[in-house]
A and B are shown apart, each in its own frame.
Chain A
Amino acid sequence: MLTAQSITKTFGGNRAVDEVSFTIKEGTITGLIGPNGAGKTTLFNCLAGLFPPTSGSLSLEGERIDGLSPDRIFARGLARTFQIPRPFPEMTVLENVMVAPLHQRGERFWANWLTPGRVAAEERTLAAAARHWIDFVGLSHLADQPARVLSGGQRKLLELARVLVAKPRLILLDEPGAGVNPVLLDAIVDRIVSLNRQGVTFLVIEHNMDLVMNLCSPIMVMAQGRLLMAGTAQEVRDDPRVVEAYLGGAPA
């Protein structure tokens, strides 16, 4: 579904992502783990178009997406959430979610004057869809509250609802479990599994090993900008290079 070939991203002399190649198969929940500073989030940012890779190519279902801006990549069906959630704090939860759907008629300046009836009809449909996804992530009771009142975990759920309403086919989740209390975490995992059954593919960065081992297959391991290995949970656990990367610091 998503193929990366020799993705490299340098900041000055620092190779944050170094010749990383992989393929994400449709229908999987692929994990991405690695010690802090391994380049996981930088890789995410390259995939989502926040900045272009220095070299290498990316293709989503056969079409090149490297170098495209984030809005265009999102329009192709690749959505991402942020490590530190980025809600629109002064807007209500409902409005946060209603921002996301693509190609809204009412986003065009003139449509609001020329075809107000159709804009209104579309808004009602969108609102229903938004409420459905807010309900799906369990935030219905907060739908009309400004997003700034949400807790860290709730913000992660809001981000999830916000991308879901646009019906992406591949979702990049950056640490969905970080700073989330165990009850909410179960809810998040449950939602991911249920979405995956409905055909959504995931790539998940996560530090919570239990979560990764249970949820993800295959699992890719990064260290110092490079892709160390990819395999099943068992293979990752048994690989001495992974232990070395986490415990041994720099490989000799």
Chain B
Amino acid sequence: MKSIIIAIICFISSTAFAQSNYEKSMRQAMGLWQSGEIQKASALLERISQAEKDNWIPIYYQAMILTTAAFREKNKETQAKYIQSAEDILNNSTQDNNSEWLVLRAMNKTALMVTDPMTKAKELSPTIIGLYKKALAITPNNPRAMLGLAEFRMNAKKYFNQDSSKECEDVKKALSLFNEEKVTAPFSPSWGKDRAEQILKECK
């Protein structure tokens, strides 16, 4: 009887172990990201993604971490390295029809654009808008694509002191989509609600 119990427990714990290895590592990576350990988080996600070859989520987060880090990085060289590394990941993929992936590509291009808007905006802004539009065409209810596009347009309009009430409507719509959004797989992208709320405050 004891041996049976042990066998069962062992079986359970080993499946639980296998199950949690991904979750544990992902959680660890998120923890490293939150504490600002960009490179370590990125390295860990790289390890996870090569162990989970069919799962796009770890590598999505790797590109995400590098891209968001680029926005904050002050050192031009490190910044360029982050953008380039993320771009290499985003280019080298079969995810071209993944709406979330396209949103991230648009963010990566935006990070590149803001390094030198004077020379890069002209060429990159149509590309960025194009990526958001494609993301929306694939998944019309992707709140991140809707928010991203609205925010990008809003920034341009703000600059020209133009009315951005249409974009505010889009953000409102995105927010309601955020509220309806259900997480389908663990760690699948679900960020953006806070940002939408924050932008909406500025709308009023």
* A and B associate: no
Which residues of A are in contact with B by a Cβ distance under 8 Å? none
